[in-house]
Amino acid sequence: MVGQLGFSWGLFIGSMVTGWWLGHRRVLTEERASRILRVAIKWLSPIVLTLSFWTLPITGQRLVWLPIIGGVVCLAALWPAWGYARWARLTKPQVGSLLTCAMFSNVGYIGALLAFAFFGESGYGLAVWYLVYFSPLFYLVGMTIAKRFGDPTSSSMAQSPFSDELRLRAFLGMALGLILNLAKCPRPEILGVINHVLIPVDTAIHLTAIGSQISLASPTASWRHGLAMCAIKFVYSPLVGWLLAWAVRLEGLPKFIVLLQASMPVAVSPLMLAVVFRLDRKLASALWLWTNLLAIPWLFLYVPLIR
């Protein structure tokens, strides 16, 4: 287990630090990082998703519940976050950052990568299937909250690497893989070997490009908010995931995926919302840093429990 967690966190932290260093040295400018992300999302990610969903174990699994549970866990986090925001008397930009950070967890770059480290392509495919809820809720709910509590600029998300066209390619990759899966078309073994290389490469490219555009201030001033967010991510959300998995009687690998993904730290996407809608960038960065750092010892205790 130590080796699997070490591989996942080493790739995550190493890629982010490398990206930050390249951005600090102005090697990876915003334009270059955006171009790299576009290429990866447009060409590499759909291939990875197609190959992963091609061999996804569908028979006998309650797979329909995974993205539904993911969406419920995401929305349920708004309640304690809103209660804490009112208790702490946060400003509107701070409330927006807190709510979006509470909603969106790192179910992709960390959760899916951990699932791949433990259970290979089957784990990765189920982890990606779990996060199908992410894009709809990000654009429909997350951006609505950010707009409500922030000050939208003239910049448009349509110019970002996550435009409708690029998101459509990801969904098409998943759909093609499922069609081949349901058609019981055997996947050549060489494609499995290739996908085991493409998954970490695709992840590293994304994280390096994103890391180059993150500017972190000292998180010490927001330690109370950071601990509150850790309580939401590592206590409240996993409890919601446990209850939902029990309610729909999930077992085996799908249950592990739900319990793993429900305990992930803050995602990178709230930092993007903070920039676009002028939320509190320092608070969003501090919450991201607090939860991602404390997730390391937390997962060493939590993963053996859910396995």
Q: What b/e sequence results for 204-230 when a residue is b if at least 16 CB atoms lie within 10 Å of its CB, and e otherwise? A: bbbbbbbbbbbeeeebeebeebbebbb
What is the spatial distance between Cα 61 and Cα 180, in angstroms, rounded to a whole number? 18
Q: Taking the domains of the chain in order of start, what are their residue ranges?
A: 2-306
Q: What SS3 class is residue 266?
A: strand
Q: Could you tell me if 285 and 215 are in contact, meaning their C-beta atoms sit under 8 angstroms apart?
A: yes
C-alpha closest to that of 260 among 80, 116, 97: 116
Which residue in the block uniquely carries the two structure tokens 């093609």?
Answer: 176
Please give the share of the chain, as a percent, with pLDDT higher than 90.
Answer: 31
pLDDT tens digits for 103-137? 999 898 788 888 888 888 888 888 888 988 887 78
2-306 classified as CATH 1.20.120? no
Q: pTM above the 0.85 mark?
A: no
DSSP 277: T
Give the model confidence (pLDDT) of 123-181 as tens digits: 888 888 898 888 778 877 888 898 889 865 544 444 454 555 666 777 788 889 889 98
Residue ranges of the chain whose pLDDT lies below 50: 154-159, 161
Q: What is the pLDDT of residue 251?
A: 85
What was the pLDDT predicted at 56? 72
| DSSP for 26-59, written as a single string | TSS-HHHHHHHHHHIIIIIHHHHHHHHHHT---T
Nearest to 104 by CA among 144, 142, 151, 158: 142
Query: How far, CA to CA in Å, does 106 sit from each of 31, 56, 110, 249?
Result: 24, 22, 6, 25
**Residues 30-40: pLDDT tens digits?**
778 777 877 88
| DSSP symbols for 227-240 | HHHHHIIIIIHHHH
| pLDDT number for residue 132 | 81
> What per-residue confidence (pLDDT) applies to 164?
56
Q: How far apart are the first and last CA of the chain?
A: 10
The pLDDT assigned to 245 comes to 93
